[in-house]
Chain A
Amino acid sequence: MAHAAASTMGQAPERGIEVYNQKVGMWVFLCSEVMFFTGLIGSYIVLRFGASDTWGAPNEVLAVPVTAVNTFILICSSVTMVKAFAAAQAGDQKGIKIFLCATAALGALFLSIQLYEYTHLIEHASWQGSHGFTPAAGLYGATFFTMTGFHGFHVFIGVVCLTWASIQAFKGRWGADNTHGIEVLGLYWHFVDLVWIILFTIVYLI
């Protein structure tokens, strides 16, 4: 210890990245998530280009209107999340509770609609003459369920964390002097929304 202290004496402290550790940690995690989803999207593009004759038009197989509503729900949840952070910064306890609960509820609604969509596709959709569009329905089915499923899993994790944060809000944990937890959770939630914006376009519209 004495050696370490002596070796840094007289040196200016490093500036660092100018933000708190949890936020840096979340951004590093999100960077790894960017590569994860890029891998999935890249694979989807390659497989679709390589086997375009086995790919259906999205509006003929998928329930685009239902998913458009789901996209709108996720965009709304991003607003409530950022409003929860703004309420925390202002020390507005009522606002924190309302907006965190609303975000968790909208996330749960998104998942419920996605499950409804999956059920409808598996039980009622028709694909290449067979009844039901399942993960086993060729490359199209496999890539569709992998990409949307992994995104749904991320939403599920977010809803679990939001539920925990909402419970903590009712215990009075968050406030103007303690906003870090909500901000870091918000970064994750907005990233999940951002990924869905890209996935919705690539999988459902193109």
Chain B
Amino acid sequence: MSAAADGVHDAPNYMLIWLYLFIMTVVELGVAFLPIHKSLIVMFLLVMAFWKALLVALYYMHMKWEPVRLRLLALAPLPAAAVLIVVMLMEYV
């Protein structure tokens, strides 16, 4: 078993992650109401939101250091969630 799977790892720099999240939120707010093409803004904001969510999951929820089986368990609903959203969106395609 790896050191990570044992739960033994150096503590990440939680304040640095907080700073990233803060800066990304400020950037989101700055970009959200810019007078540019709406679809570009939507794409950018969604990428930023998922990036922030990923930072929280990896470092604050410690997914980066969890055993592979637990990571698979945590990821299990994401394909189902993606299918649900895509199928709903196809209503308008």
Contact = CB atoms under 8 A, between A and B. Distances in A.
Interface in A76-126: 76, 78-79, 81-83, 86
Interface in B43-89: 45-46, 48-50, 52-53, 56-57, 60-61, 66-67, 69-70, 73-74, 76-78, 80-81, 84-85, 88-89
Contacts of B92: 46, 49-50
Contact of A35 (B53, B60, B77, B91): B77
Nearest to B67: A18
Interface string A1-35: 00000000000000001110001100110111011
Given A197-B52, A201-B48, A191 B61 contact: yes
Contact of A83 (B14, B74, B85): B14
Nearest to A50: B92
Interface in A13-67: 17-19, 23-24, 27-28, 30-32, 34-35, 38-39, 41-43, 45-46, 49-50, 59, 64
Which residue, A50, A72, A82, A197, has most C-beta atoms of chain B within 10 A?
A197
A201 B45 contact: yes
Nearest to B12: A82
Contacts of B74: 27, 30-31
Given A24-B70, A194-B53, A75 B89 contact: no
A82 B70 contact: no
Contacts of A50: 91-92
B77 A194 contact: no
B47 to A, nearest CB: 10
B72 to A, nearest CB: 9
A137 interface: no
Contact of B73 (A27, A79, A187, A193): A27
A206 B45 contact: yes
Contacts of B45: 201, 205-206
A19 B81 contact: no
Interface of A: 17-19, 23-24, 27-28, 30-32, 34-35, 38-39, 41-43, 45-46, 49-50, 59, 64, 68, 71-72, 75-76, 78-79, 81-83, 86, 186-187, 190-191, 193-194, 197-198, 200-202, 205-206
- 5 closest Cβ contacts across the A-B interface? A201-B49, A38-B81, A205-B32, A18-B67, A34-B77
